[in-house]
Structures are given as C-alpha cells and as structure tokens.
Amino acid sequence: MRLMLIEDDPQLGKAIYQGLKQEHTTDWFKSAEEGNAVVYETPYDIIILDINLPGISGIEWLQSLRARKVDIPVLLLTARDTLHQKIEGLDAGADDYLVKPFDFDELLARIRALLRRKAAFVNNELQYKNIVIDLAAKTVTKDGQPIAISGKEYEILHMLLDNIGRCLSKEQIEQRIYNWDDELGSNTIEVYISTIRKKLGKELIKTMRGIGYIVVRDT
C-alpha cells in the first residue's frame, strides 16, 4: 500500500512519516501544492491530510480533488475539534477525521479501517487457490501453512492477487511499493518475483515478456 502524507509541521510530519514507513510505502509533502503535483500520476491508497497548510488549505485541496473525481480515501489531521469543523471536513469529502494530538496506534487503526473499506474484503482475506493473504495480519499461508515473506514480497503478492487476470508492468509495481527517495536496482522487482515463486510455486506468477507480470485467473 502507498500512502500520501501532507503535513507542514516538520517535527510532527517527520514523526508520522517515520512511523508510517515501518508498515506502508509513504511519501511526505509539506503543502497541498506539492501533493497536487504528483497525486494524479501516483497510485495512492490513502491520503493523510492536515487542514492547516500554508497556501492552499487542506479543505480547499480536498474539495478540488473530489471535484475532479479523485476517490482516494482521505483522513484529515487537524487541531480543530468543534462539531462544526468536523462536519465541514467530512462534507468536503473526507472519509475520516483525527484530532491532534493523537495516539499513533489510533492513526494506524484508522488507516487499516480505510484500507479494509476500500478493498471491501468482508472477511479480511484474499485467497487464490491454496494461497491465502490475511490483510490485517499481513501474513501468507499456502495449504494452511505459514510462509515466511518479506514486506516487499508481501506488497507485490498482494498487488498481483488484487489484480488477478491483469498484467502489471514493472513500473506500476515500483510506483506502488517504493518511496520517492528509495534507490532501486535495475533488477530489484525481478529478484522479488523470483523469491515469491520459490516460496509459493513457480507457476503462480507469469511473466509477459516486455509487458510485465500477471497472476492468471483460476478457471
């Protein structure tokens, strides 16, 4: 999963960013203008948005996103805690609202809730043949047996199983699982794909030469 964080406070922004990076690919921007430059080209799963920003406010930017039919879930972060201000944020198109100061574990819980709502997985599992992903625990089993899998391997597998029957290019996978400041080797994705095949079966992920990777729909 890839998150966008827009928070102009340097200390709070850094703390949230460092915490989120432990579980999710995260990009941190300090203004709505910075976020606007990339939001239409990057496949974000959630936007975590401060309301009080320099320049364009969080509310104004959120309204512009919704006016342009951007349906990425948005979690507002703000020091405003009156009922009127909460209603203003939700009416602008926010999906959730968290008042500062907040506990970081609550932020993670709200992110998980938004991801579940977005994915619409009622039982919180994604299954393909004998392979099951537990979306809450971020674990993988095959034939009921746990499979040791790294964070990046999990993200790639999740992305491919969430797009069964659709070929994903190397660039699409990189955009989803890496931060802007990550340094990538030319064959990094190929290495992860190879490792996933060794753990879950070489026939699971097909290579479409010159196009990308696909998990073929089970017929």
Kindly report, residue by residue over 188-211, the tens digit of the pLDDT: 899 999 999 999 999 999 999 889
Q: Are 118 and 75 in contact (CB under 8 A)?
A: no
pLDDT top residue among 217 and 41: 41
CA distance 173 to 161: 12
Neighbours of 162 (CB within 10 A): 16
CA distance 156 to 143: 20
Kindly report, residue by residue over 107-120, the tens digit of the pLDDT: 999 998 888 776 65
pLDDT at 122 over 70: no
Q: What is the mean pLDDT of residues 122-144?
A: 85
Kindly report, residue by residue over 48-79, the tens digit of the pLDDT: 999 989 999 999 999 999 999 898 999 999 88
CA distance 126 to 165: 15
Per-residue pLDDT band at 219 (split at 50, 70, 90): low
pLDDT at 163 over 80: yes
Per-residue pLDDT band at 179 (split at 50, 70, 90): confident
Please give the model's pTM, rounded to 2 decimal places.
0.65
Q: In terms of C-beta density within 10 A (0-12 exposed, 13-18 middle, 19 or more buried), how is residue 182 classed?
A: exposed
